[in-house]
């Protein structure tokens, strides 16, 4: 199945002093797919996501999202265009309820969203993420898995077309991680394309339709999970650390 290219990175590079954290990376995210970016610690995965969401400016290269050049756009304008982002470190407001947290999150969504629309989006997201029964619960009282659902829900409240996830499964037990996998699949079924970074290989295997492997800032392999898992360069990258 080939579908339209949603996000295209061409020769994207980011340096921190003398360190080239992301080195001439070109890749595509296709409409409707679930793409994993994997690689050893320090490979440049999070930096790549930060470049895509606009948190860092690129040193060179360009990025197109939905037919528009976004290379120079600030993060909020990328979010308005449909780039959504969930973080590994979850920081909800602990005294506020789940619903209140999501309403606050929704403010970072599209500009000029009416309160009525914001409420409707929050209710839809509560349902999709299975957080409806917890809507009135203070965020500080959630379990770790519920925290992850809330973080995903917060990103979804910005109504992303492409959702970026950076190790959102971190800390979950295997059974919980598989529940989170089901949630991501559900999110995709609702029409959202997903780019995720993950170090838990069972999660990558269960979720990714395509895998991009990074090492020392560069893309060293790309393909289906079973293909990249067999790749000699990939095996060396993981064994070498």
The beta strands (E) that lie in the chain are given as 5-16, 19-30, 34-38, 60-65, 68-69, 83-86, 162-166, 193-197, 210-215, 218-223
The whole-angstrom separation of Cα 230 and Cα 131 is 39
In angstroms, what is the minimal distance from the CB of 47 to Mg ion?
Answer: 8
Residue 43 phi, psi (nearest 5):
-70, -20
Residues 105-134 that bind ligand ADP (CB under 6 A): none
Residue 46 or 129: which CB sits closer to Mg ion?
Answer: 46
**Lookup: tokens for 42:** 């320090």
In angstroms, what is the minimal distance from the CB of 233 to Mg ion?
Answer: 20
Cβ 139 vs Cβ 126: under 8 Å: no
Residues 74-103 that bind ligand ADP (CB under 6 A): none
Residues 180-209 that bind ligand ADP (CB under 6 A): none
Q: Is 46 in the site for Mg ion (CB under 5 A)?
A: yes
**Lookup: tokens for 6:** 């949603």
Of ligand ADP, Mg ion, none, which one does residue 44 interact with (CB within 5 to 8 Å by kind)? ligand ADP
Residues 28-47 that bind ligand ADP (CB under 6 A): 39, 41-47
Which residues make up the interface to ligand ADP (CB under 6 A)?
A: 16, 19, 21, 39, 41-47
């Amino acid at each position: 199945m080939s579908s339209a290219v949603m996000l295209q990175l061409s020769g994207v590079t980011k340096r921190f002093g003398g360190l080239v954290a992301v080195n001439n990376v070109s890749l595509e995210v296709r409409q409707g797919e679930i793409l994993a970016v994997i690689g050893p610690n320090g490979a440049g995965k999070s930096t790549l996501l930060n470049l895509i969401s606009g948190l860092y400016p690129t040193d060179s290269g360009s990025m197109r999202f939905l037919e528009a050049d976004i290379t120079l756009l600030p993060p909020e304008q990328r979010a308005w265009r449909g780039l959504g982002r969930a973080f590994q470190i979850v920081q909800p407001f602990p005294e506020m309820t789940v619903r209140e947290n999501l309403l606050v999150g929704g403010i970072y969504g599209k500009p000029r969203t009416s309160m009525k629309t914001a409420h409707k989006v929050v209710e839809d997201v509560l349902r999709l993420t299975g957080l409806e029964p917890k809507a009135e619960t203070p965020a500080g009282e959630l379990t770790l898995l519920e925290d992850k659902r809330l973080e995903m829900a917060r990103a979804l409240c910005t109504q992303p077309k492409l959702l970026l996830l950076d190790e959102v499964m971190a800390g979950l037990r295997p059974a919980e991680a598989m529940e989170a996998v089901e949630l991501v699949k559900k999110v995709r079924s609702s029409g959202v394309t997903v780019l995720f970074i993950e170090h838990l290989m069972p999660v990558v295997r269960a979720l990714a339709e395509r895998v991009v492997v990074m090492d020392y800032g560069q893309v060293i392999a790309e393909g289906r999970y079973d293909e990249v898992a067999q790749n000699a360069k990939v095996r060396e990258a993981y064994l070498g650390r």
